[in-house]
Amino acid sequence: MIPAAFEYVAPTSVQEAIALLQQHGDEAKVLAGGHSLLPIMKFRLAQPKLVVDIGRIPGLDGIARSGDTITIGALATHDAVERSGLLREHCPLLPETASVIGDMQVRNRGTIGGSLAHADPAADYPGAVLALDAEIVARGPGGTRTIPARDFFVEMLTTALQPAELITEVRVPVIGKGTGTAYVKHAHPASGYAVVGVAVVLEAGGGTCRRCAIGINGVAGKAYRATAVERALAGRALDEKTVAAAAAHAADGVDVQGDLYASSDFRAHLASVYTKRAVLLAASRAG
């Protein structure tokens, strides 16, 4: 389909973009990589009168380390995240996650900030940033603020971003020795989106789980932390039987979604299976 008519503007600074969003309100939409916005415009599920293309704003695509934190610019593409030597060495969960997003064309254009702002429950990054306890930095008319990932995803396609706010960067911790990470997913065969995706950050010692953080996407209306699994693993041996018993709680306390591809029961089963796989993989890497 062809989208409804719209005006297009490409600001050259964050301040200019914010001013445009503030001026036009709900009639404006932000364009970053375009892989979320353009399809829904073509289906006319969104009909903005103004498209604000932030893709030409300089300085929003860098990846840099400062102390124990790595800062990723909102316009960093999935491909840039996947190929970053800094992230591969010090926060490998994000490159692994980026490597299974869509296809090569999507990874070359889609951005980490755009994906997080869209907050599709089947997107891959949300589970990863939750497991990493990442921080999302947003700038708006009131200035700059930092939003913990655990507070960022409100409900389906809804975030804690305020009107006229833009994500400018994502901050993730440097992963220390003795900590393993993993992201595994069951991808929808047509779209590549996660029917179930599980991200794990696990600190181990002597075959025992010292600390574990698990983010799950694709299962509920928003990505969430599998706290029941985290509690079940804390201080326990990381053998297959123990991990399987803990992973059985992967969908506890959430409203599991069902669709034509996967019923809610099947999706809950997949959540347990893939949580077990992700935890065991992270544990094997923690050494």
**Residue 269 above 80 pLDDT?**
yes
Greatest pairwise CA separation for the chain in angstroms: 62
Q: Which CATH class is domain 179-285?
A: alpha beta
Query: What's the token pair of residue 279?
Result: 């935890």
Average pLDDT over residues 54-77: 97
pLDDT band at residue 157 using 50, 70 and 90 as cut-offs: very high
What would the pLDDT profile of 103-133 be if each residue is shown by its tens digit? Answer: 999 999 999 999 999 999 999 999 999 999 9
HSE at residue 17, side-chain half, CA atoms within 13 A, is 26
pLDDT band at residue 35 using 50, 70 and 90 as cut-offs: confident
Report the side by side order of strands in the sheet with 50-53: 7-9, 50-53, 28-31
Measuring CA to CA, which residue among 236, 247, 21, 189 is closest to residue 117? 21
Q: Are 88 and 181 in contact (CB under 8 A)?
A: no
Average pLDDT over residues 254-265: 97
pLDDT of residue 1: 76
- HEC string of 67-126 equals CCEEEEECCCEHHHHHHCHHHHHHCCHHHHHHCCCCCHHHHHHCEHHHHHHHCCCCCCHH
Domain layout of the chain by residue ranges? 7-53, 63-173, 179-285
Q: In whole angstroms, give the CA distance from residue 130 to residue 27.
A: 31
Mean pLDDT, the chain, integer:
97
Average pLDDT over residues 41-63: 96
pLDDT of residue 287: 75
What is the percent of the chain with per-residue pLDDT over 70, rounded to a whole number?
Answer: 100
Q: According to CATH, what is the number of the domain 63-173?
A: 3.30.465.10
Helices 264-285, 240-247: inter-axial angle, 10-degree rounding: 140
Q: In whole angstroms, give the CA distance from residue 218 to residue 186.
A: 9
Q: How far is CA 159 from CA 34, 46, 150, 194, in A?
A: 18, 17, 11, 19
Architecture of the CATH domain 7-53: 2-Layer Sandwich (3.30)
Average pLDDT over residues 214-229: 98
**Residue 138 above 90 pLDDT?**
yes
What would the pLDDT profile of 195-214 be if each residue is shown by its tens digit? Answer: 999 999 999 999 999 999 99
Average pLDDT over residues 23-44: 93
pLDDT band at residue 250 using 50, 70 and 90 as cut-offs: very high
Q: Using a cut of 0.95, tell me whether the model's pTM lies above it.
A: yes
